[in-house]
Amino acid sequence: MMHRRSRALAYLLASTVAATAVIAAPAPPADASDVSWGLRESFVRYILSSLSSGTIATTGSVQFDPDTEAFTFLPGEVTHATATSATVSLPGSIHFTGHGEVLDSLVTDMRLEFSSPTQAAFVADYESNEMEGTTAEDYSDESVLTGNDVRIVELTFTTPVPLESLADDMASASPTSYTATATLNDEGIPVFGAIYAGETYRKFEELTLTVGGTNPTVTPGSHSYEKPSTPDSDPDPNPSPDTPGTGSGSSTDSTTDANTSTEIKATGEEIVRIILGIISALAMLGMLATVIKHVAELGR
């Protein structure tokens, strides 16, 4: 019986061959289009946090920017274009892993399928672990959830997209952006480890489709992103305007602030260690998915 890790290895080999073909192909034209989307900000942040110790891997014409926490997709072919429908392919894949591959979700064959100038869906195939084990070795083929041509997220554009002329407009030098609200479908829940099963968590980040204009900087191929290993890589979510070293405040105040900051940092590290201990204990009871749901929603 082939395990999930073997399936991922097989896909990685196929992706490498595909990526090589993409790199060998002619570069995209200077005037092109793109899709910018952060998916679900809390999920992306959680994957790259110390709690998950996860990675985000992309292939093809998909690239993730850790600074903006958003994905950029370079559209491929536009097909079935009429006044009321069109399909825009998004060549490449996205692969999320976390907790030593207990959380493991691969999204491929991505595209935008329009059913009207204002309504579309993010459609894709996926393979995702069923979140009931404690280690990657717990997952055989039977515990891997799969879906083909799944309407993962519903999109509602605030301005109608001219579908019939979309292919021609994408080559225009003048960019036009169309923004859509995004809502997770029931069918798309397994893609995110069943974290967002409740109605409260269905709202995703807005998606922006830019038609025409200058092609964004995307390097086709395989890329992997993970949390930097340096201790000070986590940004302070609420930085003080008098942070030492900014030139604000007296030297005495700066010293006091530095000492206080050190104490807060030490306390924060203790809290993280406690949380990790609790998560480890809960994972042994098969409750990891519940923990991930609550932690991913912190600060939202």
Q: Among 191-205, 223-237, 277-291, which stretch is predicted with the lowest mean pLDDT?
A: 277-291
pLDDT at 251: 38
- Look up the pTM and report it: 0.69
pLDDT at 201: 82
Q: Among 195-199, 215-219, 223-227, 254-258, which stretch is predicted with the lowest mean pLDDT?
A: 254-258
pLDDT tens per residue across span 143-164: 889 999 999 999 999 999 999 9
Q: Sort 42 into a burial class: Cβ within 10 Å, 0-12 / 13-18 / 19+.
A: buried
pLDDT at 216: 72
List the beta strands (DSSP E) in 158-222: 176-184, 203-211
Q: How confident is the model at residue 22 (pLDDT cuts 50, 70, 90)?
A: very low
pLDDT tens per residue across span 229-256: 654 444 343 333 333 333 333 334 444 4
pLDDT at 279: 54
Q: Among 185-199, 244-258, 275-289, which stretch is predicted with the lowest mean pLDDT?
A: 244-258
Q: How far is Cα 145 from Cα 149, in angstroms, rounded to an integer?
A: 14
Q: Give the list of residues 6+ apart from residue 22 with CB closer than 8 angstroms, or none.
A: 60, 61, 91, 220, 221
Which is more confidently placed, 95 or 232? Answer: 95
Q: How far is Cα 214 from Cα 31, in angstroms, rounded to an integer?
A: 5
Q: What percent of the chain has pLDDT over 70?
A: 61
pLDDT tens per residue across span 109-150: 999 999 999 999 999 999 998 876 666 666 655 588 999 999
- Extract the tokens encoding 210: 């830019």
Q: How confident is the model at residue 293 (pLDDT cuts 50, 70, 90)?
A: low
pLDDT at 101: 87
The structural domains of the chain, with segments of one domain joined by +, span 4-226, 244-296
Q: Give the list of residues 6+ apart from residue 199 with CB closer than 8 angstroms, or none.
A: none
pLDDT higher than threshold 90 for residue 200: no
pLDDT tens per residue across span 45-54: 999 999 999 9
Which is more confidently placed, 121 or 12? Answer: 121
C-alpha triplet 198, 199, 204: angle, nearest 5°: 100
pLDDT tens per residue across span 59-92: 999 999 999 999 999 999 999 999 999 999 999 9
Which whole number is the average pLDDT over 6-18? 44
pLDDT higher than threshold 60 for residue 18: no
pLDDT at 294: 52
- Extract the tokens encoding 156: 């509602």
